[in-house]
Amino acid sequence: MHYFQAVPKYCYNLNMSAPVKIQYLKGIGPAKAKLFERLEIATVQDLLHYYPRTYQDRRLNTTPNEYNSEALVVLKGRVLRTQLVPAKSILIFKAVLEDEKGHQVECTWFKKRMYRAFRFDPFGQIKKDFHVNNEVWVIGRKQDRGAMFATQITVEEYYVAADTLTKLHAGRLTPIYGLTEGLTNKQFRQFMYEALQSNTLTETPEILPPALLQKRRLLSAPQALKAIHFPNSLAELGTARTRLAYEEFLLLATAWGIKRTQTKILAKDYSYTVKKKLLTPFREQLGFEFTGSQKKVINEIFEDLLSTRPMNRLLQGDVGSGKTVVALCAMLLAVENGYQAALMVPTEILAEQHFLTFKRMLQGLPVNVAILTSSTKSAEKKKILQGLADGMVHILVGTHAVIQDNVQFHNLRLAVIDEQHRFGVKQRSKLKEKTSKLDLLTMTATPIPRTLALAFYGDLAVSTISELPPGRQPIQTECATSRLAYDRVREEVQKGRQAYIVFPLIEESEKISAKAVTEEFEKLKKIFPEFRLAILHGQMSQAEKEDVMADFAAHKTDILVATPVIEVGIDVKNATVMVIENAERFGLASLHQLRGRVGRGAHESYCILVPQHAGHVAKERVDIICATSDGFQIGERDMQLRGPGEILGTRQSGDLEFKAGDVFKDRDILYWAIEDRDELLSQDPGLTKPEHVLFRQKLQELYQQNWHLIDLS
């Protein structure tokens, strides 16, 4: 940290003009700026770095007789004639277009019929734009039913060919952005276009050292930004991503490189000895034997704890592999030595659950466990804070409330972080600050390939639990229709088991997802009138969520209908069916995590995927999940699936989140960055040469904003 503070002040803001607030971009203003705020876009610079979520291929690459019902139809043609067709409850507007090769295609729009007295014409604008002979672009889907023409399509978007901005939306690889309610992709592309025309783009400083730009033949920053938003070809998109990914990787790798030289000097000013005063009785009353893998990782962790340098270890193990007890062993070693330990988890539901598990496993032992979350009542909280300060509380379980400023420990020495990738940006950095002088154990079920972790993090130690506890029932995974899935649910619940039915998040907004799942919940209540159903989603209050989880754990309800909020860590042994609706909308890692919610007890368990519109990749994902239950293998397959050929696919957020780069797909670029980092730091360890000053400044900026990627330190 001191490293950066040594930078002379006059280096700051070299060449960098003041950031322009987003509201001053043409067409935005204060109201729209609020919407952008939700996407964490405050300045034009932020907007430029808000990369497309995916791209739609809207180049003309098919002719009408090649249209199929799955792919997007992109058509450019002249209007031949139009017709308004009144039907009972809807109005239909039809336009026949002729494309350049003389194919005729009928386009249709459907609108609800309005109250007659209402003079508004729902097709007013369309009629204006579709006058005979006008040239238009149409984006839509092929319609199969009752086609009078060889090809009929339902229109999703259209653009008048002569409009200047049409070139942003049609006839090209078109960027699709992650939006928020109130913004459309069309608007977003136009704002982005404005931003790309502005001085902000041309004044974007080149932070990469010129020698590296040349060595790797990278695009300049403005070129790359232009091309990532409006690529002229897949190849250009590729080079833009390469540049931006390289920059991200190089920054992180350098930060790690510097960190590594710093931490080498550090030594702990406390030490442990293995007394077994707690560990032995704990093991005796546990009720099961550790697996070989668990023993191995416990040894690795203990070795770290007993050494003179602070531990920085990542514990990875598949869903259900038993990471919690391993963490508990480490915490008991701390407690045996008179120290305190804390376990931090990303959600309150999970905190509650770990707390109960710990209390159960530590029954009769002289260990005080407390739980602290943002909904802990203030009287209770006061007591806990007192206990932490005077050392009466030995183990604290909690959410990020644990790292708030008013929490003072007597002698905290060990911090364990569960599912660390789920923590928000701010929480992670705070966590890092609070834990920098402690022994730190981070746990994850989303494995990072070992070579990658080592290459990247350098001295981050990795422990892997490679087997599941014995006696686990393999989970039967299959694809089926809703009806068959519900039959299975009914059968199991009648036997006294419980079930989850999960719906995907709808990406535009949490609110919409909550509404969607609520609607489904109402339907499901009618399908299962004889059972007790409960609903769980992200918009409910914490207390509500906890009640719902507690009732489900106590078998007061039979079926839990939920969004993926239950994805992580939930452990209800009596639950034996997991139904995943719209399974094609989930990534491999999520599917695997969700499946891990069942098969936790002695009963045979089922995971049933119900896909809706299975595209090619989606189907492959679903097939992989059905075929294997090994999380590491799934991770590898995921990587293959999302290989370089799949640039047009959707991005999946993983453990290491980069905006442009992807540690799996862009491995080669990652290795470039690591190699170049080593060279850079060996030539100019302080990054003080003039050609490195901007790079160093950027690094410092990110570091001061507590860049969430530097969080495993």
Using CB under 6 A, list all residues that contact ligand ADP: 288-291, 294, 317, 319-325, 445, 469, 571, 600
Residue 294 interacts, among ligand ADP, Mg ion, none and using kind-specific CB cut-offs from 5 to 8 Å, with ligand ADP
DSSP category for residue 711: -
**Nearest residue to ligand ADP, scored by beta-carbon proximity:** 322
DSSP category for residue 571: -
Instruction: Using the CB atoms, write b or e for 377-390: b if 16+ within 10 Å.
Output: eeeebeebbebbee
Minimum distance of ligand ADP from residue 606's CB (angstroms): 18
Residue 325 interacts, among Mg ion, ligand ADP, none and using kind-specific CB cut-offs from 5 to 8 Å, with ligand ADP
Nearer to Mg ion, 569 or 611 (CB): 569
Three-class secondary structure of residue 13 per DSSP: coil
Minimum distance of Mg ion from residue 418's CB (angstroms): 6
Minimum distance of ligand ADP from residue 340's CB (angstroms): 21
How many distinct helices (H) and strands (E) make up the chain? 25, 20
Nearer to ligand ADP, 28 or 319 (CB): 319
Nearer to Mg ion, 353 or 697 (CB): 353
Q: How far, rounded to the nearest angstrom, does the alpha carbon of residue 668 sit from its chain's CA centroid?
A: 23
Instruction: Using the CB atoms, write b or e for 119-158: b if 16+ within 10 Å.
Output: eeebbeebeebbeeebebbbbbbbbeeeeeeebbbebeeb
Q: Does 596 bind Mg ion (CB under 5 A)?
A: no
Minimum distance of Mg ion from residue 320's CB (angstroms): 8
Nearer to ligand ADP, 226 or 600 (CB): 600
d(CA 147, CA 65): 13
| Residue 704 neighbours by CB under 8 Å, 6+ apart | 4
Minimum distance of ligand ADP from residue 570's CB (angstroms): 9
Q: Which of 175, 245, 251 is nearest to 665 (CA)?
A: 245
Nearer to Mg ion, 242 or 442 (CB): 442
Minimum distance of Mg ion from residue 572's CB (angstroms): 13
Dihedral pair phi/psi, residue 557, rounded to 5°: -130, 160
Nearer to ligand ADP, 2 or 360 (CB): 360
Which neighbouring-strand residues pair with 233?
none
Nearer to ligand ADP, 44 or 278 (CB): 278
| Residue 411 neighbours by CB under 8 Å, 6+ apart | 270, 338, 339, 340, 391
**Nearest residue to Mg ion, scored by beta-carbon proximity:** 569
Nearer to Mg ion, 251 or 361 (CB): 361
Residue 189 interacts, among ligand ADP, Mg ion, none and using kind-specific CB cut-offs from 5 to 8 Å, with none
Q: If you write DSSP's letter for every residue of 115-135 in order, what string do you get?
A: PTT----TTHHHHHHT-TT-E
> Which amino acid, one-letter code, is at 572?
V
Minimum distance of Mg ion from residue 239's CB (angstroms): 41
Q: Which of 92, 53, 56, 90 is nearest to 71 (CA)?
A: 56
Minimum distance of ligand ADP from residue 575's CB (angstroms): 12
Estimate the crossing angle of helix 693-704 against helix 234-263, to 10 degrees. 80
Residue 630 interacts, among ligand ADP, Mg ion, none and using kind-specific CB cut-offs from 5 to 8 Å, with none
Residue 469 interacts, among Mg ion, ligand ADP, none and using kind-specific CB cut-offs from 5 to 8 Å, with ligand ADP
Of 550-579, which residues contact Mg ion (CB under 5 A)?
569
Residue 319 interacts, among Mg ion, ligand ADP, none and using kind-specific CB cut-offs from 5 to 8 Å, with ligand ADP
Dihedral pair phi/psi, residue 523, rounded to 5°: -65, -45
Minimum distance of ligand ADP from residue 414's CB (angstroms): 17
Nearer to ligand ADP, 223 or 466 (CB): 466
The residues that touch Mg ion, with contacts defined as CB under 5 A, are 569
